[in-house]
Amino acid sequence: MKTWFKSGSPWVWLSAAGVSISLISVVGLLFLIASRGLSFFWPSQIHQFELQTAQGQTSVVIGEIYDRERIPASQLNNAQVDLGDAESVERYLVKTGNRELVNLDFRWVLEPMVQQQSQPEDVAVIERRTNGNFYGFIEEVYMDGESVDVAKLDSFIDRVNELQEDIEQLQGTDIGAINYELERIRLKERKAELDGMLTDEVKTGFEKRRQELAAEYKELEANLNKLRRDVQRDKIVVRAMDGQTVDINLEQVLQINFNNQMGFFSKLGQFFTQIGNFIGDDPREANTEGGVFPAIFGTVLMVLLMTVIVSPLGVVAAIYLHEYAGNNAFTKLLRIAVINLAGVPSIVYGVFGLGFFVYMVGGSIDQLFYPESLPSPTFGSPGVLWSAITLAILTLPVVIVSTEEGLARIPSSMRHGSLALGATKAETLWRIILPIASPAIMTGIILAIARAAGEVAPLMLVGVVKMAPSLPLDGNFPFLHLDRKFMHLGFHIYDVGFQSPNVEAARPLVYATALLLVTIIVALNMTAVSIRNRLREKYRALEH
């Protein structure tokens, strides 16, 4: 034993445990997010519990089992149930939905209270546009007030979804465009007034256009009203778990599934449909349900803008550091600056971005170019452009370090060869160095994108919002609205997970969003690393 300790072997094993703990935590974390995130999409079985209290009262609970845990019996001071001598009790967290009938989406069910547990085939999961899911048995289907065959339900739902799409198109895109146009006319008029150019002729011009728009709007509105009437045509009658029957207008219904009737493959199909909906749909119910499309869109657009800004700057700075800078104190200072830019907390960039870009630069831009819309700010308030610029500064060191590493790996013989053949330094750079270093630059940019996609703290100050009314890119001139606020996946996680009114109900969605974000970032990182590794191999070949 003593010699064993003297050999140092226990300490080696202890340090090995350090590696194991790190590995367990990385893999465990990813596994945790993946399992929780994916189970959100998997259609789960619907259980029917018949409960009986110690007093003999019975009730029925229908829902999905979200969680189960064992708790010591001593923690329960529940007079409703006779626990006997059991030391611990199993309980289930059941999502019962039916928000209009019960206050809470979730309830705990104690195992000893369960008299009978079954999975009835004909329980329907009705996913709705508002009020969350409804679990129940479909009793009747009405078309225009007349009872019809239940089998027609599928075609009715398809019809409703088509109509809803039309309504959305009318409301969001067409009427939105008219409102946008009206606002632009107002601003133009105000601008003319400020410039002293508002003559009667100009005024009538604006007025005429306004009337045209008003006429267009009337037409659209009539259409919209007709569609709204159409969409309310059908309804279903559903019996809930407590025996009550509830009328649900199909207008509310997104889809109806009979999870308990599904086999493995139809569940798999449903699983992928749900993932598709999650990625492609807009959020509903204060972000706690529906998809995350605007957040994905906002993240991607912001990151693209950032890439456009950071790539040239980072590459140029790296070229300067590696190819031009002499070995002197100033270069050392520059390197310290790069390290520090990488080390400054991201929130500091947010503060700087808010003060400098938003209030100072943005405020000045408003004064100079958008006096007509003052006092409401255009660029003088947080927006996607300022977010992109702020994150560009934040990720600058990532691009610099990666590019410089690539430059350092290029054998100097290649530079010398080019210069010896009479090329200038600029030509050598452009024709020889940059093409060879391009994978390294790519690596840097990908790493920068991965970093930017996950950064939230500075964005909370310079442009992200929980719910953006319109995307920063749409069909209205000038199409790309750099002054608009946007939604972001990372902020979505924070907001839904911590700021939403019903955290418990929203949690699965947060896991799903987290999974999406992690997948994007891990994929980006892996790509970057594999490019870098391939590059290293290539240079190793070049050297020999």
Residues 402-441 contacting another protein, CB under 8 A? 424-427, 429-430
Residue type, 488: H
CB of 88 to another protein, least distance (A): 7
CB of 22 to another protein, least distance (A): 5
Give the residue among 158, 357, 144, 342 at the shortest CA–CA distance from 234.
144
CB of 330 to another protein, least distance (A): 8
Tokens of 543: 């050297």
Give the residue among 80, 82, 88, 137 at the shortest CA–CA distance from 107.
80
**What's the rounded Cα separation, in Å, for the pair 525 and 443?**
9
Q: Rule CB under 8 A: say whether 521 interacts with another protein.
A: yes
Which residue in 236, 303, 354, 448 binds another protein (CB under 8 A)? 354
CB of 304 to another protein, least distance (A): 18
Quick one: 445 or 521, whose CB is closer to another protein? 521
Residues 48-107 contacting another protein, CB under 8 A? 72, 74-75, 88
Q: Rule CB under 8 A: say whether 273 interacts with another protein.
A: no
Window contacting another protein (CB under 8 A); options: 12-20, 212-220, 262-270, 302-310: 12-20
Which residue in 497, 502, 527, 539 binds another protein (CB under 8 A)? 497
Which residue in 272, 369, 477, 498 binds another protein (CB under 8 A)? 498
**What's the rounded Cα separation, in Å, for the pair 464 and 390?**
12
3-state helix, strand, coil in the chain (%, to 5): 60, 15, 25
CB of 493 to another protein, least distance (A): 5
Tokens of 4: 């064993």
Which residue in 114, 313, 419, 467 binds another protein (CB under 8 A)? 313
By CB atoms closer than 10 A (0-12, 13-18, 19+), residue 15 is: exposed
**What's the rounded Cα separation, in Å, for the pair 60 and 65?**
14
Quick one: 170 or 313, whose CB is closer to another protein? 313
Say how many residues touch another protein, by CB under 8 A: 100
Q: Rule CB under 8 A: say whether 293 interacts with another protein.
A: no
Quick one: 43 or 283, whose CB is closer to another protein? 283
Residues 362-391 contacting another protein, CB under 8 A? none
Which residue in 494, 502, 519, 539 binds another protein (CB under 8 A)? 494
Q: Rule CB under 8 A: say whether 196 interacts with another protein.
A: no
CB of 525 to another protein, least distance (A): 5
Give the residue among 39, 65, 516 at the shortest CA–CA distance from 271.
39
CB of 317 to another protein, least distance (A): 5
Give the residue among 40, 139, 98, 118 at the shortest CA–CA distance from 242.
98
Which residue in 236, 248, 393, 505 binds another protein (CB under 8 A)? 393
Which residue in 102, 182, 262, 341 binds another protein (CB under 8 A)? 341
Give the residue among 341, 451, 333 at the shortest CA–CA distance from 400.
341
Q: Rule CB under 8 A: say whether 238 interacts with another protein.
A: no
Give the residue among 307, 248, 306 at the shortest CA–CA distance from 124.
248
Quick one: 268 or 503, whose CB is closer to another protein? 503
Handedness of CA 207, 210, 215, 218 (dihedral sign): negative
Q: Rule CB under 8 A: say whether 324 interacts with another protein.
A: yes
Window contacting another protein (CB under 8 A); options: 1-9, 103-111, 127-135, 283-291: 1-9
Segment holding 421, helix H or strand E: none
Q: Rule CB under 8 A: say whether 461 interacts with another protein.
A: yes
Residues 128-147 contacting another protein, CB under 8 A? none
Q: Rule CB under 8 A: say whether 517 interacts with another protein.
A: yes
CB of 279 to another protein, least distance (A): 18
Quick one: 106 or 356, whose CB is closer to another protein? 356
Window contacting another protein (CB under 8 A); options: 102-110, 238-246, 319-327, 369-377: 319-327
By CB atoms closer than 10 A (0-12, 13-18, 19+), residue 424 is: exposed
Quick one: 132 or 350, whose CB is closer to another protein? 350
Quick one: 237 or 457, whose CB is closer to another protein? 457
Tokens of 248: 């649900």
310 Cβ neighbours under 8 A, 6+ residues apart? 391, 392, 395, 396, 399, 445, 448
Contact in structure between 482 and 473 (CB atoms under 8 Å) = no
Residues 17-46 contacting another protein, CB under 8 A? 17-27, 29, 32-33
Which residue in 7, 116, 204, 364 binds another protein (CB under 8 A)? 7
Q: Rule CB under 8 A: say whether 451 interacts with another protein.
A: yes
**What's the rounded Cα separation, in Å, for the pair 296 and 283?**
11
- 334-371 in b/e form (b: 16+ CB < 10 A) is beeebeebeeeeeeebbebbbeebbbebbbebbeeebe
517 Cβ neighbours under 8 A, 6+ residues apart? 453, 454, 489, 490, 493
